[in-house]
Amino acid sequence: MFDAIVIGSGMSGGIAAKELCERGLKTLVLERGRKIEHGADYNDWMQPWELPTAGQVPEDVLEKDYPIQRQCYAVNTATQQYWVKDSQHPYETPEGKPFSWIRGYHLGGRSIMWGRQTYRLSEMDLSSNARDGHGIDWPIRYNDLAPWYDKVETFIGVSGANEGLPQLPDGKFLPVMPMTDGEKLFKAAVEKNFPDRKVIQGRCAHLTEPQPHHIELGRNPCQYRSLCERGCSFGAYHSSLSSSLPAAQRTGNMTLVTDAIVHSIVTDPKTGKATGVRIIDRLTKQARTYEAKVIFLCASTIGSAQVLLNSRNDANPRGLANSSDQVGRNLMDHVYGPTVMGVMDGPDTYHRGRRPNGLYIPRYRNVESQNESYLRGYGFQGGVMRQGWRGVAGSEPGVGKELKERTRHPGPWVARLSGFGEMLPNPENRVTLHASKVDEWGIPQLHIHCEHGENDKALGRVMLEDAKAMLKAAGATITYETGRLHPPGLGIHEMGTARMGADPKTSVLNKYNQAHDVPNLFITDGAAMVSSGCQNPSLTYMAMSARAAYHASEFLKAGTI
């Protein structure tokens, strides 16, 4: 019997495990995938000429095993080990309504391959549903999260700068990664032409200047390699493997079991409380059960919904913690796809090192009040860098000495912006269990129905126009533009399938991320999100995990759960 079980070892589970262990709870961490060793299992040593098949995963393999995962920018032969084989982990979507579920099943989950952009939600984000009536109100406000944002940022290490923007709160930052000269020029032009907009350096979970508590965990400063998605042997960015799990481990309170696929959460019919977790061993396919006083479900937005739905029993025929019928619903991602690139003039300078970060333009639409024809807003990620060799070589015709001579030199300044828009919660965007199909471990497959609504599509259109206008304001000649929205899911910010709320009739979790129906069950991954904001969400999942771990341990001490 453990004090706590944490289901999932990724971004949320890692922090939940650390916090529970540090509060003295004997904690079992269950990971469905294989064990990975920090450093030893990474391919970050591979030089360009050592990459198998020049980094390109064989096309027949992509088609057979990775038809969904291959859509992700970070899939290559140096990261191939981290992506699930879609052929082994199927799910269904309606005809013509794709959903791209990008994931990895291994210790640390997507905290290994994440994009590392790290932003807080603001008061504006946490009150947006209340303001326009879409979805339900968040049961918490910024002040509830702020101390936990502080704590998590300090622990994981976030490079950034304080900007004093109400829609993107400041935080506890390590030194910022400076802008290129092209970016400084771009920033000045955008801010001069659009006084409501700010161009800031991206905030990312990298150690620009490790603090003693980072060094104690064996973490080192960022080396500016931009090979991050392979795993970083320097431990320079926060992942479960470099950071949260080692912190949990050193307390002596953590037990880690990999290759344990959670089938369901077991409850006591008399009390309605969770008593443990039933797992299927990935390799032997044998079932076993672990027991604990409290359970943290951090299996990822869609994975956690699957576990709840599959925990159905006589008392809970719709699934566990689902008296509201909201489990699996309100699936969101960020509106993502519109991208613009352009060539611009700039100073005769270059840059050295590969900065694993870029520019960020925080949301500027509907900030103070609702004043556009559409709801909510969007932000941009991007950068202004010298065009690299491959672009220079391919940009215009040329062969022989001429081609070599041109490619030898850094190219022109290229500005790039990609939008990330807030997707409205919609109860019809949902995951359900397939009526008959199961995976090779006997767990029902998922059916995912998710599509962009009219407001989401409107954001896509305006973000494209805005991006073009900003590039033009900086004097850029547009060389590439697309307004096409990627299928939902490909933003890899899926969230919302077990939302928080004040009312048990319309929400799954209360303000402590505690299931209304099951008091000793906490869900702290993206499933808990009530609205999506337009910021990269991992920091919020981690803050909710730390906060919920505190409350869970207090409730245990008080004997109330």
Partner 1 sequence: MKMIEMDRRRMLESVAALIGAAALPLDAMAAAAKAPAKGKPALDAPTMALVSAVADTLVPRTDTPGALQVGVPARFAGLLQNWANAEHKAQFLAALAAIDTAAKTEAGKPFTLLPASQREAFLRTYDKAHLKVDAAYTKLKDLLVMLYYFSEPGATVELRYEHVPGAWEASIPLTPQTRAWAGANVG
CA distance 114 to 232: 12
C-alpha neighbours within 13 Å on the C-beta side of residue 152: 32
Contact 524, 244 (CB under 8 A): no
> Using CB under 8 A, which of 96, 143, 164, 399 touches partner 1?
399
Residue 398 touching partner 1 (CB under 8 A): yes
- CA 246, 29, 42, 383: dihedral to nearest 10 degrees? -80
Residue 345 touching partner 1 (CB under 8 A): no
Residues within window 143-202 making contact with partner 1, judged by CB under 8 A: 177-181
> Using CB under 8 A, which of 103, 151, 263, 355 touches partner 1?
355
Residue 477 touching partner 1 (CB under 8 A): no
- Looking at beta carbons only, is 221 or 272 nearer to partner 1? 221
Residue 43 touching partner 1 (CB under 8 A): no
- Looking at beta carbons only, is 146 or 161 nearer to partner 1? 161
> Using CB under 8 A, which of 217, 257, 266, 403 touches partner 1?
403
Question: Closest separation between CB of residue 223 and partner 1, Å?
Answer: 5
Residue 49 touching partner 1 (CB under 8 A): yes
Contacts of 14 (CB under 8 A, 6+ apart): 108, 111, 239, 240, 243, 244, 245, 248
Residue 391 touching partner 1 (CB under 8 A): yes
Q: Which two tokens stand for residue 327?
A: 């489990």
- Looking at beta carbons only, is 48 or 96 nearer to partner 1? 48
Question: Closest separation between CB of residue 409 and partner 1, Å?
Answer: 6
Which segments of 46-141 does DSSP mark as H helices, in order? 59-65, 123-126, 128-132
- 3-class DSSP assignment, residue 530: coil
Residue 480 touching partner 1 (CB under 8 A): no
Question: Closest separation between CB of residue 184 and partner 1, Å?
Answer: 9
> Using CB under 8 A, which of 96, 195, 212, 352 touches partner 1?
352
Residue 548 touching partner 1 (CB under 8 A): no
Question: Closest separation between CB of residue 190 and partner 1, Å?
Answer: 18
Contacts of 195 (CB under 8 A, 6+ apart): none
Residue 266 touching partner 1 (CB under 8 A): no
x/- track of binding to partner 1 for residues 213-252 (CB under 8 A): ---------xxxxxx-------------------------
Question: Closest separation between CB of residue 91 and partner 1, Å?
Answer: 25
Q: What residue type is 81 in one-letter code?
A: Q
The secondary structure of 208-250 as a DSSP string is SS--HHHHTTT---------GGG--TT--B--IIIIIHHHHHT
Residue 359: in which H helix or E strand, if any?
strand 359-361
Question: Closest separation between CB of residue 361 and partner 1, Å?
Answer: 18
- Residue reference for tokens 């909510």: 376
- Looking at beta carbons only, is 270 or 352 nearer to partner 1? 352
> Using CB under 8 A, which of 94, 166, 218, 388 touches partner 1?
388
- Looking at beta carbons only, is 222 or 530 nearer to partner 1? 222
> Using CB under 8 A, which of 409, 461, 484, 557 touches partner 1?
409
Question: Closest separation between CB of residue 244 and partner 1, Å?
Answer: 25
Question: Closest separation between CB of residue 52 and partner 1, Å?
Answer: 8
Contacting range for partner 1; rule: CB under 8 A; set: 29-37, 353-361, 423-431, 496-504? 353-361
CA distance 183 to 201: 9
Residue 482 touching partner 1 (CB under 8 A): no
- The pair phi, psi for residue 439, each rounded to 5°, is -85, -175
Residues within window 55-114 making contact with partner 1, judged by CB under 8 A: 55-60, 63, 76
- Looking at beta carbons only, is 180 or 536 nearer to partner 1? 180
Nearest of 371, 390, 380 to residue 474 by alpha carbon: 380
Residue 414 touching partner 1 (CB under 8 A): yes
- 3-class DSSP assignment, residue 395: helix
CA distance 102 to 10: 14
Question: Closest separation between CB of residue 14 and partner 1, Å?
Answer: 26
Contacting range for partner 1; rule: CB under 8 A; set: 237-245, 273-281, 342-350, 368-376? 342-350
- Residue reference for tokens 């400084």: 184
User: How far from 237 is each of 152, 299, 375, 487, 518, CA to CA, in Å?
Assistant: 13, 21, 34, 28, 35
Sign (positive or negative) of CA dihedral 155, 158, 163, 166: negative
Centroid of chain to Cα 213: 24
Question: Closest separation between CB of residue 490 and partner 1, Å?
Answer: 20
CA distance 190 to 475: 10
Other Cβ atoms closer than 10 A to 284: 9
User: How far from 74 is each of 77, 114, 304, CA to CA, in Å?
Assistant: 10, 9, 24
Contacting range for partner 1; rule: CB under 8 A; set: 41-49, 307-315, 331-339, 499-507? 41-49
> Using CB under 8 A, which of 392, 431, 498, 529 touches partner 1?
392
Binding site for partner 1 (CB under 8 A): 47-49, 51, 53-60, 63, 76, 177-181, 222-227, 348-355, 385-394, 396-404, 407-411, 414
